[in-house]
């Protein structure tokens, strides 16, 4: 069944027009509006994608639920992956959430990696900018695995989010930082390995 779904999604992704791609994914049971780029494969358990723009050759693959809010824009070649092993009965006691939620008016540029074994939430208006950022929601012996990014945040290139990490609202994460724990503060700048607060009362939008 899973292989059939993946094969159908791969076929739909090569349809020559957006209207045909959206129709194909709707026939697969997904709620989809907006623009779905050529080569974007959606092979998941559930998908609810609002009126947004998703670029080419993105991958949403695995036994997860996907929700993307209206007004969100996404670049090309992002990977949203949930391993089939997370849904195996032998792993049921580990309670993998297998859930992706991206809020409204968010921005995800190109070339990022999103592991969705756990729950991964990116708030309204937040930017996953640059390229090469990774989010990891599982690891050996990890039980606190979910990741939360607040509203109106800015994440620079090549940032790493460890399982169980979180940031508040209006937070800027500097290029190359490793976010390895929860940060409850709002309007701060984080940087370093591991990340720490390097500036408070900071509004990154003033510098855009």
One DSSP character per residue, 61-127 reads: ESS-EEEE-TT-EE-SS-EEE--GGGGSGGGGGG----EEEE-TT-EE-SS-EEE-SSEEEE-TT-E
pLDDT of residue 207: 65
Whose tokens are 């994608």? That residue is 49
pLDDT of residue 53: 97
- Dihedrals phi, psi of 77, to nearest 5 degrees: 55, 45
pLDDT of residue 208: 57
pLDDT of residue 205: 77
Whose tokens are 């599982």? That residue is 138
- H and E: helices and strands count for the chain: 2, 23
CA separation for the pair 205, 208 (Å, rounded) = 5
Low-confidence residues of the chain: pLDDT under 50: none
pLDDT of residue 195: 97
- How far lies 168's CA from each of 70, 134, 135, 154, 186, in Å? 22, 18, 16, 11, 5
């Amino acid at each position: 069944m899973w292989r059939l779904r993946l094969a159908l999604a791969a076929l739909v992704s090569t349809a020559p027009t957006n209207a045909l791609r959206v129709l194909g994914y709707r026939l697969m049971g997904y709620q989809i509006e907006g623009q779905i780029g050529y080569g974007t494969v959606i092979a998941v358990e559930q998908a609810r994608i609002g009126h947004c723009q998703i670029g080419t050759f993105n991958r949403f693959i695995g036994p997860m639920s996907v929700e993307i809010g209206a007004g969100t824009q996404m670049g090309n070649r992002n990977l949203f992956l949930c391993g089939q092993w997370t849904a195996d009965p032998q792993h049921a006691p580990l309670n993998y959430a297998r859930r992706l939620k991206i809020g409204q008016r968010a921005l995800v540029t190109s070339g990022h990696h999103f592991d969705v074994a756990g729950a991964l939430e990116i708030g309204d208006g937040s930017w996953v900018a640059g390229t090469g950022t990774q989010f990891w929601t599982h690891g050996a012996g990890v039980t606190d695995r979910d990741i939360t990014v607040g509203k109106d945040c800015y994440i620079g290139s090549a940032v790493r989010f460890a399982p169980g990490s979180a940031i508040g609202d209006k937070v800027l994460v500097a290029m190359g930082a490793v976010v390895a724990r929860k940060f409850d503060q709002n309007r701060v700048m984080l940087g370093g390995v591991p990340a720490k607060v390097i500036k408070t009362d900071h509004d990154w939008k003033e510098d855009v």
